[in-house]
Amino acid sequence: MADSELQQVIQILKDVGKSAQAITGVEGLRMLVDELALQFPMDADIQSERVDAGGVPAEWIQAPAAANGVLLYLHGGGFVCGSMKSFGHMLGRLARATGLRVMGIEYRLAPENPFPAAVQDAMAAYRWLLSRGIDSKDIVIAGDSAGGGLTLSTLIALRYFGEPLPAAGVCLSPWADLTNTAESFAIKAAVDPCVQREALELFANFYLGNRDRRTPLASPLHADLQGLPPLLIQVGSSETLLDDSIHLADRAKAAGVDVTLEIWNDMVHVWHLFAPILREGQQAIERIGEFIQKRTATRAHRQTP
């Protein structure tokens, strides 16, 4: 581990946290999250194009010599914030590592559009890809934080409606249990500079309102996971959400799912976002590329960063 790199990331997150405490409205929080990403622009050779994906605003992000397969990406942000502006640079790196075209979607956000709007939009985008003639086995669904949980929720919903399932799912630091009762919230509170229970409680209320926090399509940890495609779960050992990943992996394995759980020492929430300055961020993205290439029919050629 490059300690100086990680300490730089931790300081950035602490500074963002201080700024967030002074914000009272949702729009201000969304602007803060988007502004954080402005220091990390996409590489010059990454192409992007806005598209309407079955009624869902989306963006194609593509590296040179991309294959026909697609990585459908569901961004994080507690179902309340986040956009292609805040995640575009990371998706460019994922496009390069996987060799696939990446389609990031702008699913509707809470509290204006509470559950199940995000699940509906993710399903609509996936069905749009199928309608364009893309084989389900050439698609992987991935997401981080709330988007990591949404990845599981989308897979579960697709299975329920009898849709052909994608080749795999990838969950980065997933928020998979909106009850927010895991022990790691207390155990890791002092070392996680990004995610605390109080904020997630607010986001969960925005997203679910008075609904049961164990609603399976909102908290996939409480869902039937049988029949899902292979999963890769990456989480940092310093995360308050660590137990969400551990318990999710355990439940998936018990349901017969082929699941790979990677716990990265000392890493913080969605450290992949800091790949431009944190080598473990790029290394984790490379691991995602390796996982995906082994499971997609296209066997996309991997490009070096």
HEC string of 12-67 equals: HHHHHHHHHHCCCCHHHHHHHHHHHHCCCCCCCCCEEEEEEECCEEEEEEECCCCC
Rounded CA separation 104/68 (Å): 16
Dihedrals phi, psi of 117, to nearest 5 degrees:
-55, -45
Mapping DSSP to helix (H, G, I), strand (E, B) and coil, where does residue 139 land?
strand
* 192 phi/psi in degrees, rounded to 5: -95, 110
Instruction: For helices 84-98 and 26-37, give the axis angle rounded to 10 degrees.
Output: 40
Residue labelled with tokens 């998706």: 91
Give the integer Cα–Cα distance in Å for 284 and 290: 10
| Cα dihedral 15, 28, 46, 280 sign | positive
- Rounded CA-CA distance 260/231 in Å is 6
Task: Give the SS3 label for residue 104.
Answer: strand
Q: Which residues are annotated as catalytic?
A: 145, 239, 269
Tokens 């954080």 belong to residue: 36
As given in the structure block, the two tokens for residue 145 are 């934080």
Q: Which residues of 97-109 are buried (b: 16+ CB within 10 A; e: fewer)?
A: bbbbbbbbbbbeb
Residues in the chain: 305
**Helix, strand, or coil (residue 281):** helix
